Structure 1
């Protein structure tokens, strides 16, 4: 970032108007940017599917994250009504306003049809055609900003008693936007579209790596008794694996906490699908009252016994030492190093492992958790030797680490896009 841009940003943040900029109702923007009603750029589309040119297979859904997508591809089925004749026709580059509120967007969302296909949407949606003075993809990015979207819709939308949006299609265009000249719109759209492609490629790479890990798990943890093979110098011979009761290789850890009302404690929770532990807001002993809680020990297998069927399993580490957990999260440690904890976590992410968890804990906050734990411990698993377990866990851990690094990289690219949007959509950085 150049010193000039940094100086401009500081000036705007301080409420000063830099040279070449102006103050408007929605903020400080370049002088060349127009403050106009959205109806200057868009017009209401009245085209309907009266001739049934499009079917239920062509119905679009509008997603806050994904934008305009085919409903069946997104949700797995069509939710269209008996007749789709009254549905509105959405052509490529048309703009759609859905009046369904989201948490971050309480007045609905506005998206451009970037699919390259024509589809239909129910009469609950407003459809707009872009005029020749606006870039449709720029419109998409302009309203991807939660601030731009909410600031635009808030003054013109009335929310009814049933949380429905009281606004006509025409009035949906009555709000004020501040758009740059068409040439700058196109350049902004191109820059953000390039960043979107970077994000998309990284998402595809992560999906590929996740598929590879899934395949690895099926090969390494499956019960197909093929010929022995080498893995990191260790021979994996499934014919020698033994059917073993879980309670013969792990035991429950009881570390009850004597709660001091004056102390503060950090509790843990467990994500679904083996995605590790999370930490809750610290609580005082006074807030805990007489709740049954225990101290966490490192290198233990822990699960949410109520919702274990969601694969809510994890391994504790040194990082969690000194934290506490409630009785709904029973913790187990290996007996005489008979089982590797990482291996145990991966095993219970397989279909066979999930079956055991499902049988032990079908869910429901009021169920007998002790019964669930007993049923879990009485279950049987197919167990390799400890060196085989460790070799398998090492390979799968490496796959997880690679995926984790890619996901962190993806988050950085998303933050980069967010920063670009902040700079470009406010005119703090010009791309004339």
Structure 2
């Protein structure tokens, strides 16, 4: 049964799509008109092909993203744009399409693509215009909260990056610390090692097998063993050497900042494969300080420079061990690490807020766009 006052329509009678327009790079002129492709804004031109407000989505290539355009624009040929809203509220249709599963209509070819005629034939639920406007206003409020949190996150990340650059090089000193820093190799304050190269015959489907940590198991500071490989417990000796302890820092040896993780909460019996490195501090080094050094702009740049020219970025343990760093006294290392850890904690809290806002908005959209939750219209 339809919600009271709502109607069922073909999408083509609600939002009529048209293919975008070709615009080779050689034919673009300097201007302020945004060019919108299947992946969003992709340059500027001096001429518009569509007036605002506009809705654009991917025709092939990037499928599923929907963009709301608030100024006259040029929809590119990789995209579909709504040329006729048929009297409906554009911002409401933007949310309706943002909640749409375009993948169901993707061509079964090597390059994903969507046929607008297939989209036009889909049935959608449409509320009266006043309710469309109210729903759009509610969801726009959530978008503003999400955008504000995204900006707060970006600012916090940038501030932490600047702090790392200053604190890890001694350009900025914390209160109470003076004196010169020593210049030395990172191996002077931390053990840096790696794991084994495994044969396929050593792996097992037994869930009780010993986890083997690979680069693909590390992402954005977290360790995910859900899809990790496992080996038989009797395959190798030396387990203690390659078990991970709380606060161990592990990293993919490819120079990618996204492939790293701290071991948190408890020790983890496991093996590392040969492309995962581990940093464990020596008596002269603080564990967190050593880990932040690896993530610093200086060392990451050196990793990229040493790996340049290879088909895939790779770095050797000796290259990392020999990298020169500024080494403050242990007490100052700990103080610096504490400041950066606090910054990380704040960033994690903002990321959690952002995830919550996105999830709550998604759930609200499901209810509002189906009429399961009605709004009061003035």
- TM-score, length basis structure 2: 0.80
Q: Which runs of 5+ in 1 are unaligned?
A: 1-21, 23-28, 73-77, 103-107
Shift of 1:99: 1.0
- Do residues 99 (structure 1) and 21 (structure 2) align? no
Deviation string 1:54-110 (CA, Å, 9 cap, x unpaired) is: 75753423466xxxx5323xxxxx7x9xxx98xx712212333421254xxxxx447
Partner of 1:117: 71
Distance 1:210 1:332, change over 3 A: closer
Contact 1:91 1:113 in 2 (8 A): no
Describe the shift of the 1:327–1:291 C-alpha distance in structure 2 as closer, same or farther (beyond 3 A).
farther
Equivalent in the alignment of 2:346: 402
Residues 131/60 of structure 1: CA separation in 2 closer, same or farther (3 Å cut): same
Deviation at 1:46, TM superposition (A): 9.5
Structure 1 pair 200–304 and aligned structure 2 pair: CA distance change class (3 A): same
- Give the 3 Å change call, closer, same or farther, for CA 415–395 of structure 1 in structure 2: same
SS of the counterpart of 2:276?
coil
Residue 8 of structure 1 corresponds to which residue in structure 2?
Answer: none
Larger radius of gyration: 1
The CA distance in 2 between the partners of 1:183 and 1:323, in whole Å, is 59
Which residue does the alignment assign to 1:3?
none
Identify unmatched segments of 5+ residues in structure 2.
none
Q: Does 1:264 align with 2:219?
A: no
Distance across 1 between alignment mates of 2:314 and 2:111: 39
Count of residue pairs the alignment pairs up: 365
Larger mean CA deviation between 271-280 and 387-396 belongs to 271-280
SS of 2:74's partner is strand
Counterpart-to-counterpart distance in 1, 2:145 and 2:114 = 39
**C-alpha separation in 2, matches of 1:209 and 1:178:** 41
Query: Quick one: structure 1 residues 387 and 274, their matched pair in 2 at CA, closer, same or farther if it must change by over 3 Å?
Result: farther
Aligned counterpart for 1:126 among listed residues 62, 80, 83: 80
Structure 1 residues 273 and 209: CA distance shift in structure 2, 3 A: farther
Deviation at 1:242, TM superposition (A): 0.2
Higher relative contact order (CA 8 A, sep 6+): 2
Give the C-alpha shift of residue 132 in structure 1: 5.5
Structure 1 residue corresponding to 2:36, chosen from 61, 68, 75: 61
Whether the aligned pair in 1 keeps the contact of 2:186 and 2:323 (CA below 8 Å) is yes
- State TM-score, norm by structure 1: 0.71
Cα root mean square deviation, aligned: 4.0
1:426 matched residue in structure 2: 370
Displacement of 1:359: 5.3
